[in-house]
Structure 1
Amino acid sequence: MKLKQAVTGIAALACMTTAAHAQSAGSFFVTSGWFHFAPQSSSQPLTVTSIGGSPTNITEANTGATLSSGDTLGLTAGYFITDHIATEFVFGIPPSFDLQGSGSLEQFGKLGQAKQWSPTLLLKYYFNAPTATFRPYLGVGVSRIWFTDEKITNGVFQANVLHGPTAVTTDSSWEPVFNLGFTYSFNQHWFAGASVSYLPLSTTAKLNTAAATPVGTLNVQSQTKIKLNPIVTYVNIGYRF
């Protein structure tokens, strides 16, 4: 009987020890889930900066653009440095955003589209004990932002406003990320989570147009600065090692 009690006690202690270290220093975790990007967007008026190679500064009054929301599959991988501090790398399939006209350009509807890449590194502080089922956290980090597949898709806008075939490029940048969320553990390995992040993000879209004019085709360069400032939500399922 004593031997049986001793074995039972050792087994229970082992289970407790395993659970205690499920969210503690030295443990790894991965998550997969759904990102929703909600840009709080606005833009400066379109400004013509060059015509036929000659510098200009012509502002097209009451022109602007906003970005639509986007959704995509996300993945993260993290490591607990201490029982309360973890690092996490966040990445996913780049979402596609539609560029919508505003002001005098609102009549054209969708002007173009682009895909956003934003791999992110976070440093997160977890509250409550490592063995707690519910653990809220705060995080801060940095994201590398760039866009691909930028293009004008509205032929009427391109012909009547830009006056010719137009190529689009955008700036890349490093941006801060502010993050908060929580995890809820089902057992020592599996958990669910949700988070909200904010990125104070802006980019400059540069347009290069082969414009048809009375004197022939001229290269016209223009640009606009677009503030995105997205609020990003992430709902996920995770696994700890």
Structure 2
Amino acid sequence: MKRISAVVVLSLAAISAAHAQSAGQWVVNAGWSHFAPQGSSDPLTVNALGQSTVLTGSGGTISSGDTLGLTATYFVTDHIAVATAMGLPPTWHLNGSGTLSGIGELGTARAWSPAIIMNYYFGEPNARFRPYLGAGATYTWFSNVKLSNPVSTGQILYSPVVGTALEGPTTVSLSKSFAPVINGGLIYNINSHWSISASVAYSWVSTRATLTTQSSVGTVTSTSKFKVNPIVTFLGVGYRF
């Protein structure tokens, strides 16, 4: 009976240890990611006819969005892990605000912003619940950039002074950028392989939009900086290797 009891105790201990996030293990998570911008934009600055004019009161906002989130985490030690966050890039919807609010949607862009984060996990490796905090960096660039008709034709450059002289076919470029990221979360271990995780992250992402318009009086460039500063929440299911 003593031998049987010892075997049972050792087996239970092994099962408990298998629940752990330990050094050398990988955890892959997939789930829902919500993107909620918290920043603002600078007024549009128009460079034309050798002069720069700030369109006071003009601006834009980026709407919230949802997408599929993916993370891959490698445990360097029982408490320190390196995570990569990615997933399907969300589509940003830029809407006019202030003097541009009547235009509605200014354009859309698909934002790619993979991140690398170093996390510290609290508690013992075999705990069911493991909270964590971390910091890292993200790199953001854009694809599938599309302008609405009032922007792509340069209609937003109409003014009582010059009329439609500054209007014309318009293209846009969005700058790429690195930004710091901070995050925190909680993991609940269901069994030796499966877990549920929830996290929230904040990053200081910004981009500069440059509009280039081919008007009847020459090339017109218009710029505005967008401080996106999103809060990103994630809820996913993980599998441990």
Compute the TM-score of the two structures, normalised by the length of structure 1.
0.90
Whether contact under 8 Å (2:213, 2:220) holds in the other structure is yes
In 2: Cα distance, 1:6 partner to 1:197 partner: 45
Whether contact under 8 Å (1:40, 1:229) holds in the other structure is yes
Compute the TM-score of the two structures, normalised by the length of structure 2.
0.90
Moved more, 7-16 or 122-131: 7-16
Change (3 A) 1:17 1:136: closer
Question: Which residues in structure 2 correspond to 1:143-154 (within 5 Å)?
Answer: 143-154=138-149
Question: Which residues in structure 2 correspond to 1:9-48 (within 5 Å)?
Answer: 9-19=9-19, 22-48=20-46
In the alignment, what sits opposite 2:137? 142
Whether contact under 8 Å (2:173, 2:209) holds in the other structure is yes
In 1: Cα distance, 2:184 partner to 2:3 partner: 49
**What SS does the corresponding residue of 2:156 show, helix, strand or coil?**
helix
Q: Deviations over 1:132-183 (max 9, x none)?
A: 1111110100001111222211337844323222101011011000101111
**What SS does the corresponding residue of 2:124 show, helix, strand or coil?**
coil
Where do 5+ consecutive residues of structure 2 fail to align? 158-166
Q: Does 1:196 align with 2:196?
A: no
Q: Does 1:93 align with 2:93?
A: no
CA RMSD of aligned residues (A): 1.8
Whether contact under 8 Å (2:33, 2:235) holds in the other structure is yes
Identity of paired residues, percent? 48
In 1: Cα distance, 2:129 partner to 2:109 partner: 38
- Counterpart of 2:45 in structure 1: which amino acid? T
Question: Which residues in structure 2 correspond to 1:42-81 (within 5 Å)?
Answer: 42-51=40-49, 55-81=50-76
Cα displacement (A) at 1:49: 2.7
